[in-house]
A and B are shown apart, each in its own frame.
Chain A
Amino acid sequence: MAKKKTIRTIPQERTPMREQDPKERARNFAEVACGYRLEDAMREAERCLMCPEEPCIKGCPVNINIPAFIKKITEKNYRGAYDTITDANLLPAICGRVCPQENQCEGRCTVGDTLEPVAIGRLERFIGDMAIAEGWENVPYVEPNRFRVGIVGSGPSGMACAADMAKAGCDVTVYEAFQEAGGVLKYGIPDFRLPNGVIDAEIAKLVKLGIKFKCNTLVGRLFTVEQMVTEMGYDAVFIGVGAGYPSFMGIPGESLNGVLSANELLTRCNLMHARDFPNYDTPIDLGRRVAVIGAGNTAMDALRVSLRMGAEEVHCIYRRSKAEAPARAEEIHHAGEEGVQFHWLTTPVALLDNGKNGVKGMRCQRMELGEPDDSGRRRPVPVPGSEYEFDCDTVVYAIGTNANPIIGQTSKLKLNKWGYIDADENLATSIQGVYAGGDIVTGAATVIQAMGAGRKAASAMKAYLGLRDSEAVYQAESTGSDGKLFGIELSERNHARLRLG
């Protein structure tokens, strides 16, 4: 056995990831971060101390066995590393790119106490990309049972729930309103951060698991959630329709042309390919000076898409300071490098009319941080007499979303006072057999939290259907099957024992 590593013996510097040059990339949609090469991954994996108390695992919303997969990388057992990750997380190539690791696993990493933490996200992505390139997939041995499961929404929560139910042997159908599956991953997060090819590769794996995707289906209006459980014969249903319904501020000038939500901007550019107009028919009218209000991931994406669409100046307006900005640290850093100008502690009070129903500018007010509010962040308060005007011709709102009303309008599901679906700790809703998770339950959150919710609901749905819930679904294949897992005969693994309810 190799001698024990200590903080002094490991490579001190975090292994950098190659990136496209900021000047160049600010004008193209190719991926910004190019990913680790084999030697980068090997070097970074050496930085892991294999801490016995495994703090990183506790920081991970789906509890990936991080030291175990990193150890497998050091042993050059990449396939093994992939199997370890996919035991907990179905979409490593996606999560490695979009998770806010600094607040999760990397935020807890022991190495981070002294040096920069182990780049867990980059290692995860490295393995996820390798799996796509090598065509690895963990299609487990699935014995079909007689249950049919319907999933509403094909975002990360729906995909994760669908995968777990399919692995348990259920016949799973995912309904999606858009013409393509993927949810926010497809319509919201741009290609330079998460290429569509990666999402499609992950969806192709789900199709191999036997999951059927039905796009162009607006559940609630084409058929209701109640009809799914009554007429359509679904034994269990999961709702993961996301938040949607972007917020505006209600200040003067918001209905001027040139004012739009980040969701509209991003959907037009990403899903509808307005960036290739007129080869694609969807237009987008971005001006030369774009101001984006907000500093979350959505705002960063809107800012960086605007640059790539040819805007000359792109400004980020945020009422708190950089320390409170909710976006991933890496996105703020990348946006700055690409030339986004940040106006911290600033809030718009009115949008100004150019006399032709367009925007000429914005009146802003400076803020300062006061007492902490309910969220624990210091509350911004206006500085008296600090108003000033600022030129821009496009204003993009990225200040959050409210609950999408369609499911509430069309079913008897109990909602909470903000209009989100009311679910218990097992994510069961007020209708028997119907579960919900992701942004439509919690409000806008993260990809990995949505996936975690999808898996949690799946586990409750299996209990409801009387299916055995085994965590390590891939073990059989990678350990070389002896036909048994935990002493259970595999053919009996997802055997339905009894039906509750």
Chain B
Amino acid sequence: MSEPSTALPESFEIVTRQDFSDVTYLLEFRHPMMAKAAQPGQFVIVMSHAHGERIPLTIADFDRAKGTVTLVIQAVGKTTREMQQTCKVGARLHAVVGPMGIPSHVGKAKKVLCVGGGLGVAPVFPQARAHKENGAKVIGVLGFRTKDLIFWDDKFAKVCDELIVCTDDGSAGLKGLVTLGIDKAFEKHPDIDEVVAIGPPVMMKGCVEATRPRKVKTMVSLNPVMVDGTGMCGGCRVKVGDKVLFACVDGPDFDGHLVDFDDLSHRLKRYATTEKEALEHWNESCRIRGHADLAVK
């Protein structure tokens, strides 16, 4: 008497893979229940294979009709590089759990500035869309290192009333950091009443410093090292104001003006040495496997 609505996919099939650059790629996997439940600002924890680690990834998009969830991933460490090689269409992820975290608050703001830096462009998208659907005027600021790394500007163009693209080297759009884009946006729209900024800690720190003197509410999404994502380990603790909170269950969205970004940056380096070791071990085994393949041929 089992109903299809309670049936969970036993494994999580990848239905789309798209590469934005050498290091940035998109995965869309099938999980109808999750697609139905997902809200902007939430994240998932992925384990790509049985010996893998659990890594948190913010949901970049979800399609309730198709029953799919989209992630955008940057290949930086061992796990994300390995996934870049193994996660092709038709492949299955070992485990995906989510949506996790408190959904972003899409409130009464009338004019919202959505700022995405690098990979942070992806997770800010569902928020931009939600604010738009909520009737707000949405201004997007997207920052990339260089022109070749740009992605989803077309997707943002559809949900933003205005879109500013910045590149560090000036190869496209404004030359400069997203903070320049923020200044430009405020010049034209002094009545922006909420800012959402997602990206690397330094970038979010820059954004909150840019909005602090303007006294505009600025929400950021924190992505510290996590294990369970259910509030059980405390590995994800962050300093917000005078409190220590667990990003996975108390966040991941927090008031950026209260977040201690230096603490976040330090804590993100917790496993730097061991992670490097994992990467070297993996590179080595890839090299050996490469040789073995040659030998077979």
Interface residues of A (CB under 8 A from B): 146, 148, 171, 173, 177-179, 187, 214-218, 221-223, 231-233, 242, 244-246, 248, 250, 254-255, 257, 260-261, 263-264, 267-268, 272-273, 277-285, 357, 397, 404-406, 409
Contact = CB atoms under 8 A, between A and B. Distances in A.
A232 B5 contact: yes
A340 B230 CA distance: 31
B228 A177 contact: yes
Nearest to B248: A406
Contact of B230 (A214, A283, A406): A406
B203 to A, nearest CB: 21
A246 B100 contact: no
Interface string B91-106: 0001111111110000
Given A255-B237, A281-B51, A404-B230, A218 B98 contact: yes
Given A187-B232, A221-B99, A283-B278, 18 more contacts: A217-B8, A218-B99, A222-B34, A232-B6, A246-B233, A246-B234, A255-B244, A260-B233, A260-B234, A261-B234, A272-B227, A278-B282, A280-B51, A282-B53, A284-B274, A285-B274, A357-B266, A404-B232
11 contacts: A178-B97, A179-B47, A217-B8, A218-B97, A222-B34, A255-B239, A255-B267, A257-B269, A260-B234, A281-B78, A409-B249
B79 interface: yes
B68 interface: no
Best-buried of B8, B51, B94, B231 by chain A (most CB within 10 Å): B231
A254 B244 contact: yes
A216 B97 contact: yes
Contacts of A255: 237, 239, 244, 263, 266-267
Interface in B56-86: 78-79
A231 B239 contact: no
A274 to B, nearest CB: 9
Given A245-B246, A281-B278, A283-B278, A264 B98 contact: no
A221 B53 contact: no
B7 to A, nearest CB: 9
B98 A232 contact: no
Given A281-B52, A282-B53, A257 B270 contact: yes
B100 A179 contact: no
Contacts of A279: 51
B277 interface: yes
Interface in B205-245: 227-235, 237, 239, 244
Contacts of A285: 270-271, 273-274
B227 A267 contact: yes
A82 B229 CA distance: 39
A209 B244 CA distance: 44
Best-buried of B47, B98, B233 by chain A (most CB within 10 Å): B233
Given A255-B267, A273-B51, A281-B278, A406 B97 contact: no
A370 B196 CA distance: 52
Nearest to A216: B97
B37 interface: yes
A179 B263 contact: no
Given A222-B99, A405-B249, A267 B274 contact: no
A267 B97 CA distance: 17
3 closest A-B pairs by CB: A283-B274, A264-B233, A244-B232
B281 interface: yes
Contacts of B246: 245
Best-buried of B8, B37, B47, B227 by chain A (most CB within 10 Å): B227
B233 A277 contact: no
B277 A278 contact: yes
Contacts of A231: 5
Contact of B231 (A214, A223, A404): A404
A216 B95 contact: yes
Contacts of A260: 233-235
A279 B51 CA distance: 7
Consensus secondary structure, chain A interface: loop
Nearest to A178: B228
B275 interface: yes
B54 interface: yes
Nearest to B37: A222
A352 to B, nearest CB: 16
B270 A264 contact: no
Contacts of B249: 245, 404-406, 409
A56 B8 CA distance: 45
B78 to A, nearest CB: 6
A179 B244 contact: no
B227 A218 contact: no
Contacts of B94: 179
B95 A406 contact: no
Contacts of A261: 233-235
A251 to B, nearest CB: 11
A280 B53 CA distance: 7
A43 B49 CA distance: 48
Contacts of B98: 218, 221-222
B187 interface: no
A183 to B, nearest CB: 10
A97 B92 CA distance: 37
Nearest to A179: B95
A277 B246 CA distance: 26
B250 to A, nearest CB: 8
A233 to B, nearest CB: 6
B99 A232 contact: no
Nearest to A273: B51
B80 to A, nearest CB: 11
A364 B244 CA distance: 22
A216 B228 contact: no
A221 B244 contact: no
A153 B102 CA distance: 20
A453 B94 CA distance: 33
A116 to B, nearest CB: 37
B293 interface: no
A246 B232 contact: yes
Given A178-B228, A248-B234, A218 B100 contact: yes
A302 to B, nearest CB: 12
Contacts of B231: 244-245, 404-406
Contacts of A409: 102, 249
Contact of B275 (A222, A273, A283): A283
Given A217-B97, A281-B51, A223 B230 contact: no
B3 interface: yes
A255 B234 CA distance: 11
Nearest to A404: B231
B251 to A, nearest CB: 12
A221 B59 CA distance: 14
B230 A218 contact: yes
A19 to B, nearest CB: 31
Contacts of B271: 283, 285
Given A267-B228, A404-B231, A221 B100 contact: yes
